[in-house]
Structure 1
Amino acid sequence: MIDVSGQAAEWVVEAPEETAMTDLGAGLAAVCCPGLVIYLEGELGMGKTTFSRGLIRAMGHEGAVKSPTYTLVEPYALAGVEVYHFDLYRLGDPEELEFMGVRDYFRPDSICLIEWPVRGRGILPPADIGITIAPAGSGRRLHIQASTELGGSVLARWRQKHRSQQRQ
């Protein structure tokens, strides 16, 4: 893990209900930047798509945000940035990603959200930010780690924004 501006590049936050999960996604949207790769991990039903929905809608998408379970990827052209939402749950072999031209999605002008990244191991680029979602009572706990300088910078801004919203 890296350290950015004296802050640990790790954060654990609770999402007691679905609204909190979408709010966390929206909070990340407010501080994220092109070139970011975000891994979303957790068992089925943990809220990976709910988090993604919050981020994508906060970036300006007004339509439905569905899980790309069968299509593997859903593109969103938003305010000067392409957002690609991947769900690799049904991926049979990581090599299938090569056939779909996955490397073309990871560009300096795009943001990639990847659910079930372990299924694309060896093909996917490393994450800037990894989010693992687990049960916590009736809600969820998000363990967030930055693993690049870009990820650390975004994580520091996200935490600061979240803290300031909590004080309001």
Structure 2
Amino acid sequence: MTLTATSASDLPGLATQLINYAGNSRIFLFNGDMGAGKTTFIKSICAALGVKDGVTSPTFAIVNEYAGAADKIYHFDFYRLKTQTEALDMGAEEYFYSGHYCFIEWPEKIPDMLPLHYISVSIKVLADGARQISVEKN
């Protein structure tokens, strides 16, 4: 599935489409260059899932937890990790297999720890500033 956001106002509708497409899948891997809009899109997805609190990048905390309307949501940013062992030491796998939503930025930092089944979300900035969002079930 390919989605296009020409402005931030498109994101709430795209977030709903993504949630519907994912069905029962709870693990989402977000790929894209720095500044592509991964965290911004995750904020819209969290809002669509009923999160009332502020959603911020967990760059320094590594993981943030949010309360959705019906489920917990864990938001990871592994950008600062130097090794996968750091994610293992913080118990990342326990989160991944908890059955709760997990939104993972920079999943390439933990390739050997990723669950077998997930939704891959790749965000690419187009020449006109729009975002092309490619989504695949794995």
Question: For structure 1, which runs of at least 5 residues remain unmatched after alignment?
Answer: 1-10, 148-168
User: Which structure dedicates a bigger proportion of its chain to helix?
Assistant: 1
TM-score of the two chains, using structure 1 as the length reference = 0.74
| Aligned-residue CA RMSD (Å) | 1.8
Matched, 1:83 2:73: yes
Contact (CA 8 Å) 1:34, 1:110: kept in 2 or not?
A: no
Q: Distance in 1 between matches of 2:46 and 2:92?
A: 20
Residue 135 (structure 1) aligned to one of 125, 130, 134: 125
1-side partners of 2:24 and 2:95: how far apart?
12
Normalised to the residue count of structure 2, the TM-score between the two structures is 0.89
Residue by residue over 1:66-105, the C-alpha shift from the partner in whole angstroms, topping out at 9 and shown as x without a partner, is 0011111111122331111111111111111110011110
| Cα distance change of structure 1 residues 127 and 17 upon mapping to structure 2, 3 Å threshold | farther
Distance in 1 of aligned mates of 2:62 and 2:115? 16
- 1:69 aligns to 2:59 (yes or no): yes
Larger Rg: 1
Cα distance change of structure 1 residues 59 and 71 upon mapping to structure 2, 3 Å threshold:
same
Which stretches in structure 2 are left out of the alignment for 5+ residues?
none
Q: Give the ranges of 4+ consecutive aligned residues of structure 1 lying more than 6 Å apart after TM superposition.
A: none
Aligned residues: 137
Contact 2:121/2:135 (8 A) holds in 1: yes
State the alpha-carbon separation in 2 of the partners of residues 33 and 82 from structure 1: 16
Q: 1:97 matched to which residue of 2?
A: 87
